[in-house]
C-alpha cells in the first residue's frame, strides 16, 4: 500500500486545481483507495485547523498610517512635470483644488472601502446565515442560468450577471432577493462540496471605485470587490481558497 | 516619478492588498516588528516600480515584491535561516521541538510555532494557499516556483506540518 497519488494528485484535487477530466478520474480512484481517502481527510482537517485558528495577520492601523504618510511624502518630494508646475503657479486655485481632490481621493479610496466593508460585511454575513434557515435559501431554484437571470427581471432596478460554474465545481443552485444596507440586492446561491456560497450583487454606488477586501468572521469567509458597474460579495463557510476560485471565475 | 493619475491607480489597485502583504511578510520573517519595516519598504518599491505593472493580478504582483524584499532582508540579517533550506529535519528550530510544542496549552500558539518551524519556502506556499487562498498559478507567479512544481511543494509542506503537529500530540499524550 503505497499510493503515489496520495502524495500528489490528492492535493491538486483538494485545491480544485485539476481539470474536469483528471478530477473525475481521481474521484473514481478515490472510491477504491483508502490511502487517498485518509490523505484527503488529513489535508482537509489541516486546512480547517489553519483557517479557524485566526492566523491571518492583517496590517496594523499603525503600519497603514506609516505607508500612507510615506506615499504622500514620496509624491510631494518628487518633481512634477514642468507643465503641471507652471499651470499650478499661474492658477493657484487649481493647485489647491487639485491638492484637496488628491487628499479626498486618498481618504475615499483608502478609508472608505474599509469602513464601508466592515459595516456591510456584518450585514452580509447575517444575510448568509439567515439564508441557511430551512426554506430561505432560494426564491427561484434552478441550476439553469437562463431561468435564474430572467427571474430577477422587474424585481430589481439592475440586472445581475448570472452564470453557472458546474463544470468548474461551483454549480448554481438558485437565486433570491435580499435586503442589505436598506437596498435590495440580488443573491445567487452556489454550492461547493456540500457548502453553500452566497454571491450578493448590487450596483456600484461610486462608479470610480475598484476595490477588493476579504476576511473571515464567525467562521465565515468573505471576499468583497467592486467594479465600475457592480459590487459583489461572496460569503460562505467554504474554504477561502474556494471563494477565491469562484471569484476568479466570476471576474474572468 | 508617477503621474497623479497613476498614484490614484496605485491606491485603487495595489493598496487594497496591504493586508495580504502584511500577512505574507509576518509569516516569512516570523515577527511583526521586522515585517512591518519590510512591508513598508516593499510598498515603496512597488510604488516606484508601478509604471512596470501592466494590469493583471495586482495582488500577485505586490506579493512577489514583498517576498523578494523579505528574502533580501533575511539574507542580510538572518543568513542562517536561509541555510536550513534543504535540511528541515536536522535544523529544527529550538522553539518548535515536539516538547515545546506539546507544552503549549494554546492551540493557536502551537500551530504558529509549528508553522514557523518549517523552512521559509515550505511556509510561504502554505501561507499563500491556506491563509491567502492563492491558486497554484498565483503561487507560481509570486514565488517563482514553476507551476508544475507547486503541487508537490505544497504536498511536502503540508506533510511536514502534519508531522510536526502529530509528533507534538504524541509527546503530549505521554
Q: At B129, is the pLDDT very low, low, confident or very high (cuts 50, 70, 90)?
A: very high
Mean predicted confidence (pLDDT) in A20-30: 91
Q: Which residue has the higher pLDDT, A7 or A117?
A: A7
Tell me if A50 and B3 make a contact (CB, 8 A cut-off). Answer: no
If DSSP codes are grouped into helix, strand and coil, which group holds residue B88? coil
User: Residues of B with CB below 8 A from A63's CB?
Assistant: 18, 22, 36, 39-40
CA A178, CA A125: separation in Å to the nearest integer?
12
Residue A80, pLDDT > 70, answer no
Residue among A7, A57, A244 minimizing CB distance to B135: A244
Mean predicted confidence (pLDDT) in A5-28: 90
CA B145, CA A111: separation in Å to the nearest integer?
35
CA B59, CA B21: separation in Å to the nearest integer?
8
> B21: distance to nearest CA of chain A, Å?
8
pLDDT of residue A182: 78
Q: At A1, is the pLDDT very low, low, confident or very high (cuts 50, 70, 90)?
A: very low
Q: Are residues B105 and B66 in the same domain?
A: no
CATH code at A114-251: 3.40.1000
CA A187, CA B94: separation in Å to the nearest integer?
50
> A53: distance to nearest CA of chain B, Å?
5
B19 inside 8 A of chain A by CB:
yes
Asked whether the beta carbons of A178 and A160 are under 8 A apart, the reply is no
CA B48, CA A74: separation in Å to the nearest integer?
9
**pLDDT (tens digit, 9 = 90+) per residue, A40-63?**
999 999 998 888 888 888 899 999
The set of cell numbers assigned to B45 is: 518599491
Residue among B44, B126, B131 minimizing CB distance to A56: B131
Q: At B81, is the pLDDT very low, low, confident or very high (cuts 50, 70, 90)?
A: confident
CA B30, CA B116: separation in Å to the nearest integer?
7
Q: Are residues B43 and B65 in the same domain?
A: yes
Q: At B100, is the pLDDT very low, low, confident or very high (cuts 50, 70, 90)?
A: low
The set of cell numbers assigned to B70 is: 523579505
**pLDDT (tens digit, 9 = 90+) per residue, A165-204?**
999 999 999 999 988 877 889 999 999 887 899 999 998 8
**pLDDT (tens digit, 9 = 90+) per residue, A152-165?**
888 888 889 999 99
List all residues 6 or more positions away from B54 whose beta carbon is below 8 Å from its beta carbon. none
pLDDT of residue A28: 93
High-pLDDT (> 70) share of chain A, %: 81
Given B44, B77, B110, which residue is the final one in a domain? B77
Name the residue ranges covered by the structural domains of chain A.
Answer: 4-52, 114-251
CATH of the domain at B11: 1.10.1740.10
- Of A242, A233, A147, A7, give the one whose Cα is nearest residue B160: A7
Q: At A96, is the pLDDT very low, low, confident or very high (cuts 50, 70, 90)?
A: low
CA A29, CA A152: separation in Å to the nearest integer?
41
B65 inside 8 A of chain A by CB:
no
- Of A241, A238, A44, give the one whose Cα is nearest residue B136: A241
Q: At A217, is the pLDDT very low, low, confident or very high (cuts 50, 70, 90)?
A: confident
* Buried/exposed A91-119: b ≥16 CB within 10 Å, e otherwise: eeeeeeeeeeebeebbebbbeebeebbee
CA angle A38, A43, A46 (to 5 degrees): 125
List all residues 6 or more positions away from B93 whose beta carbon is below 8 Å from its beta carbon. B116, B117
Q: Are residues B97 and B15 in the same domain?
A: no
> B46: distance to nearest CA of chain A, Å?
11
Residue A141, pLDDT > 60, answer yes
Q: Which residue has the higher pLDDT, B47 or A98?
A: B47
Q: Are residues B72 and B88 in the same domain?
A: no
pLDDT of residue B11: 86
Domain span at B158: 82-174
Asked whether the beta carbons of B151 and A11 are under 8 A apart, the reply is yes
Residue A251, pLDDT > 80, answer yes
* Buried/exposed A200-229: b ≥16 CB within 10 Å, e otherwise: bbbbbeeeebbbbbbbbeeebbbbbbbeee
pLDDT of residue A41: 93
Tell me if A71 and B43 make a contact (CB, 8 A cut-off). Answer: yes
B147 inside 8 A of chain A by CB:
no
Residue B141, pLDDT > 90, answer yes
**In chain A, which residue's Cα lies nearest the Cα of B23?**
A57
Q: Are residues B132 and B54 in the same domain?
A: no
**In chain B, which residue's Cα lies nearest the Cα of A63?**
B36
Residue among A58, A213, A248 minimizing CB distance to B23: A58
Q: Are residues B71 and B89 in the same domain?
A: no
Lowest-confidence range among A92-96, B88-92, B139-143, B170-174?
B88-92
User: Residues of A with CB below 8 A from B134's CB?
Assistant: 241, 244
The set of cell numbers assigned to A220 is: 465565515
Mean predicted confidence (pLDDT) in A22-35: 92
Q: Are residues B132 and B60 in the same domain?
A: no
> A59: distance to nearest CA of chain B, Å?
5
Say how many domains are in chain B: 2
Tell me if A55 and B22 make a contact (CB, 8 A cut-off). Answer: no
pLDDT of residue B8: 82
Residue among A8, A54, A78 minimizing CB distance to B155: A8
CA A213, CA A140: separation in Å to the nearest integer?
29
pLDDT of residue B105: 59
**pLDDT (tens digit, 9 = 90+) per residue, B24-62?**
999 999 988 899 999 999 999 999 889 888 888 899 999
Given B32, B55, B77, which residue is the final one in a domain? B77
Given B50, B77, B104, which residue is the final one in a domain? B77
CA A26, CA B144: separation in Å to the nearest integer?
28
User: Residues of B with CB below 8 A from A11's CB?
Assistant: 151, 154-155, 158
Q: Are residues B57 and B91 in the same domain?
A: no
CB pairs under 8 A between A and B: 138
pLDDT of residue A212: 81
Residue A176, judged by CB atoms within 10 A of its CB (0-12, 13-18, 19+), counts as: buried
If DSSP codes are grouped into helix, strand and coil, which group holds residue A101? helix
Q: At A233, is the pLDDT very low, low, confident or very high (cuts 50, 70, 90)?
A: very high
CA A170, CA A165: separation in Å to the nearest integer?
5
Distant-in-sequence contacts of A214-217, Cβ < 8 A, 24+ apart: A214/A240, A214/A243, A214/A244, A214/B133, A215/A56, A215/A58, A215/A121, A215/B19, A216/A51, A216/A56, A216/A240, A217/A121, A217/A122, A217/A125
* Maximum Cα–Cα distance across chain B: 64
| Distance set, CA A154 to CA A150, A162, A188, A232, B73 (Å) | 9, 15, 16, 20, 58
Q: Are residues B73 and B86 in the same domain?
A: no
Amino acid at each position: 500500500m503505497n499510493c503515489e497519488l496520495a502524495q500528489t494528485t490528492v492535493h491538486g484535487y483538494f485545491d480544485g486545481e485539476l481539470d474536469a477530466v483528471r478530477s473525475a478520474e481521481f474521484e473514481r480512484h478515490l472510491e477504491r483507495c483508502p490511502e487517498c481517502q485518509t490523505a484527503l481527510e488529513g489535508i482537509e482537517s489541516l486546512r480547517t485547523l489553519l483557517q479557524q485558528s485566526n492566523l491571518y495577520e492583517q496590517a496594523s492601523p499603525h503600519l497603514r498610517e506609516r505607508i500612507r504618510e510615506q506615499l504622500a511624502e514620496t509624491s510631494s518630494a518628487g518633481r512634477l512635470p514642468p507643465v503641471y508646475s507652471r499651470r499650478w503657479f499661474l492658477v493657484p486655485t487649481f493647485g489647491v483644488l487639485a491638492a484637496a481632490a488628491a487628499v479626498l481621493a486618498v481618504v475615499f479610496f483608502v478609508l472608505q472601502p474599509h469602513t464601508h466593508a466592515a459595516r456591510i460585511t456584518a450585514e452580509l454575513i447575517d444575510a448568509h446565515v439567515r439564508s441557511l434557515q430551512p426554506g430561505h435559501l432560494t426564491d427561484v431554484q434552478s441550476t439553469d442560468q437562463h431561468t435564474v437571470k430572467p427571474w430577477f427581471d422587474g424585481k430589481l432596478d439592475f440586472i445581475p450577471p448570472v452564470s453557472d460554474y458546474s463544470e468548474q465545481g461551483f454549480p448554481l443552485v438558485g437565486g433570491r432577493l435580499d435586503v442589505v444596507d436598506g437596498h435590495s440586492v440580488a443573491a445567487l446561491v452556489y454550492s461547493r462540496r456540500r457548502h453553500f456560497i452566497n454571491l450578493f450583487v448590487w450596483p456600484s454606488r461610486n462608479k470610480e471605485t475598484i476595490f477588493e477586501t476579504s476576511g473571515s468572521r464567525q467562521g465565515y469567509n468573505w471576499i468583497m470587490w467592486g467594479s465600475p458597474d457592480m459590487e459583489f460579495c461572496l460569503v460562505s463557510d467554504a474554504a477561502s481558497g474556494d471563494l477565491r476560485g469562484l471569484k476568479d471565475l466570476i471576474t474572468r | 516619478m508617477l503621474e497623479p493619475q497613476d498614484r490614484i491607480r496605485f491606491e485603487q489597485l495595489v493598496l487594497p492588498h496591504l493586508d495580504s502583504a502584511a500577512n505574507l511578510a509576518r509569516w516569512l520573517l516570523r515577527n511583526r516588528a521586522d515585517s512591518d519595516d519590510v512591508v513598508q519598504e516593499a510598498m515603496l518599491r512597488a510604488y516606484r516600480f508601478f509604471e512596470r505593472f501592466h494590469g493583471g493580478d495586482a495582488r500577485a504582483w505586490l506579493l512577489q515584491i514583498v517576498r523578494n524584499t523579505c528574502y533580501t532582508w533575511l539574507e542580510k540579517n538572518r543568513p542562517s535561516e536561509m541555510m536550513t533550506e534543504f535540511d528541515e529535519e536536522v535544523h529544527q528550530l529550538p522553539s518548535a521541538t515536539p516538547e515545546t510544542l506539546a507544552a503549549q496549552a494554546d492551540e493557536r500558539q502551537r500551530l504558529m510555532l509549528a508553522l514557523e518551524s518549517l523552512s521559509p519556502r515550505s511556509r510561504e506556499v502554505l501561507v499563500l494557499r491556506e491563509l491567502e487562498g492563492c491558486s497554484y498559478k498565483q503561487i507560481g507567479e509570486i514565488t517563482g516556483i514553476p507551476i508544475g512544481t507547486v503541487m508537490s511543494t505544497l504536498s511536502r509542506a503540508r506533510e511536514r506540518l502534519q508531522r510536526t503537529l502529530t509528533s507534538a500530540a504524541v509527546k503530549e499524550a505521554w
